[in-house]
Amino acid sequence: MGSLRFLTAGESHGQALGVTLEGVPAGLALTADRVAVDLARRQRGYGRGARQAIEKDRAEIVSGVRHGLTLGSPILLLVRNRDWENWTRVMQVEPLSEEEAAELAALAAEGTTRAAPITRVRPGHADLAGALKYGFNDVRNVLERASARETTARVAAGAVARAFLAEFGVEIWSFTAEVGGDAVDPGNCSRTREEADASPLRCPDPDAEERMIARIDEARSNGDTVGGVFEVVARGVPIGLGSYVHWDRRLDAALAAAIMSINIVKGVELGLGFEQTRRFGSAVHDVIEGRTDDGRWVHRSNNAGGLTGGISNGEPIVVRGAVKPISTLARPLPSADLVSGRPVEKAHYERSDISVVPAAGVVGEAMVALVLADAVLHKFGGDSIDETRDNLERYRARIARAPEASVPGGAEADSGGAEAGSGGDD
Ligand SMILES: Cc1cc2nc3c(=O)[nH]c(=O)nc-3n(C[C@H](O)[C@H](O)[C@H](O)COP(=O)(O)O)c2cc1C
């Protein structure tokens, strides 16, 4: 919708990751400590690799904030890579002098893998398609940006969007719903949100988590990797974000694209998702209970995941992302060499995660926050938080009352029921 925009920059082993966020109204309280909470959550999770022990991500707020409040100007956040000090020559920005090139070649010759060009492309990663597309003969040039280290910058931006949404009572959370085919049992989700957040896989079902951990251990001992499913839930979202009038104004489509944009996500479900196709309509559609005395519209269930007609319907928004197994395997698959084009026995391996479902869930939260913040700004506008709040409150008060029948097809035109045997509307 374009009211809130962001662009990230940075390579996995470069100096820093950065993000510019444009469109945040003035007057939002924002501190680096607040952003740090989400960055730390992204780094956790059973199955992550050694990199997370090196990095202690913290965003510097470089611009757009004064005395703890946003100014309405672009917000620039920078997260420095601690690992950079080990990569200064390999990732040097300036052209290599003859001596520096010789130094790199010597490092490669003595077996320092990071100094050598990468040509044995990894199945399932961006290596082959990326190298051919950009004309590289060293896959390092691809993987440095294709790496999900970039999602650190998204999570930093998402923390700003989360702070903005919290002003209006919108809360976003995620949990690990499945790893390697072992899923949570909704009847056994005994952990509170805080307990789940503190658990190794950020999982509300302790028994399922044990089985999931066993799957990750199994993958690790086989030099393999394993995927899963995360679920993001957004509560307190006002009715009416998004629209059915154009494909690119549908909130469901924007959320699906945002989740699918996370490197590693290969499927998205909203609400009941694919399960709807296996049930009759009467067992899918959420009965509308009516308007409560305090003006809220309530559904009996939430199979739609808070989204109908491309619009938020006031119920919690529920989005799931399918996370494929990591493609860098400690016991690499056979592959081919980028330069010779010939088969090789083993694809490239470099330090890697084994399973990242909880971390992907935190990235999912950030993407959902950014989409919802954009949709709130698109609908309610506002150059300051107070102005956005006034607009939103006025709208909330209006939809809490009976409509005044000024809209075509409003209360006066209500026929009071469906007609049997009528044709479809498509
Ligand atoms: C939080 C997170 C961490 C990841 N860590 C790794 C990793 O250590 N090794 C790896 O090969 N892929 C990792 N990935 C996935 C790759 O970035 C991704 O598979 C790759 O960019 C190709 O994109 P695609 O899977 O969307 O096709 C990670 C993804 C996420 C979200």
Give rounded-to-5 percent helix, strand, coil for the chain: 35, 20, 45
Residue whose CA is at the smallest distance from ligand 1 atom 3: 148
Other Cβ atoms closer than 10 A to 28: 22
Q: Which ligand 1 atom is nearest residue 262's CA? A: 31
The pLDDT of residue 334:
97
pLDDT in tens, 142-156: 999 999 999 999 999
Examine the pLDDT at 19 and tell me if it is beyond 90. yes
Instruction: Using the mean position of ligand 1's atoms as its centre, give its distance from the Cα of residue 390 in Å.
Output: 42
SS3 state at 163: helix
Does ligand 1 lie within 6 Å of residue 313's CB atom? Answer: no
pLDDT band (50, 70, 90) for residue 56: confident
Query: CA torsion sign, 184 to 185 to 187 to 190?
Result: negative
Give the helix/strand (H/E) hosting 172.
strand 171-179
Q: Which ligand 1 atom is nearest residue 126's CA? A: 22
User: How far apart (Å, rounded) are the C-alpha atoms in residues 51 and 161?
Assistant: 27
User: How far apart (Å, rounded) are the C-alpha atoms in residues 253 and 204?
Assistant: 28
Q: Which ligand 1 atom is nearest residue 265's CA? A: 26
Instruction: Using the mean position of ligand 1's atoms as its centre, give its distance from the Cα of residue 42 in Å.
Output: 13
Give the residue, out of 356, 357, 362, with the most ligand 1 atoms within 8 A of its beta carbon, to mutate for a pocket test: 356
Of residues 405 and 94, more confidence is placed in: 94
Does ligand 1 lie within 6 Å of residue 360's CB atom? Answer: yes
Residue whose CA is at the smallest distance from ligand 1 atom 31: 360
Instruction: Using the mean position of ligand 1's atoms as its centre, give its distance from the Cα of residue 414 in Å.
Output: 52
Q: Which ligand 1 atom is nearest residue 122's CA? A: 11
Question: 108-133 in b/e burial notation, b at 16+ Cβ within 10 A?
Answer: eeeeeebbbebbbbbebbbbbebbee
Instruction: Using the mean position of ligand 1's atoms as its centre, give its distance from the Cα of residue 326 in Å.
Output: 6
pLDDT in tens, 97-108: 999 999 999 999
pLDDT in tens, 213-226: 999 999 999 999 99
Q: Which ligand 1 atom is nearest residue 147's CA? A: 17
Give the residue, out of 143, 326, 350, 357, with the most ligand 1 atoms within 8 A of its beta carbon, to mutate for a pocket test: 326
Does ligand 1 lie within 6 Å of residue 152's CB atom? Answer: no
Instruction: Using the mean position of ligand 1's atoms as its centre, give its distance from the Cα of residue 355 in Å.
Output: 10
pTM of the model: 0.95
pLDDT in tens, 298-330: 999 999 999 999 999 999 999 999 999 999 999
Q: Which ligand 1 atom is nearest residue 362's CA? A: 1
Does ligand 1 lie within 6 Å of residue 121's CB atom? Answer: no
pLDDT band (50, 70, 90) for residue 425: low
Which residues are CB-contacts of 381 (< 8 A; sequence separation ≥ 6)? 3, 387, 388, 391
Residue whose CA is at the smallest distance from ligand 1 atom 6: 353
pLDDT in tens, 28-51: 999 999 999 999 999 999 988 877
Instruction: Using the mean position of ligand 1's atoms as its centre, give its distance from the Cα of residue 90 in Å.
Output: 21
Nearest one of 176, 196, 220 to 353, comparing CA atoms: 220
Does ligand 1 lie within 6 Å of residue 329's CB atom? Answer: no
For range 74-95, the mean pLDDT:
95
Give the residue, out of 353, 354, 355, with the most ligand 1 atoms within 8 A of its beta carbon, to mutate for a pocket test: 353
Residue whose CA is at the smallest distance from ligand 1 atom 19: 264
Does ligand 1 lie within 6 Å of residue 24's CB atom? Answer: no
The pLDDT of residue 196:
96
Examine the pLDDT at 347 and tell me if it is beyond 80. yes
Instruction: Using the mean position of ligand 1's atoms as its centre, give its distance from the Cα of residue 285 in Å.
Output: 36
Half-sphere exposure of 60 (CA within 13 A, CB side): 9
Give the percent of the chain with pLDDT over 70: 95
The pLDDT of residue 413:
47
Q: How far apart are the first and last CA of the chain?
A: 26
Instruction: Using the mean position of ligand 1's atoms as its centre, give its distance from the Cα of residue 214 in Å.
Output: 21
Residue whose CA is at the smallest distance from ligand 1 atom 23: 263
Does ligand 1 lie within 6 Å of residue 276's CB atom? Answer: no
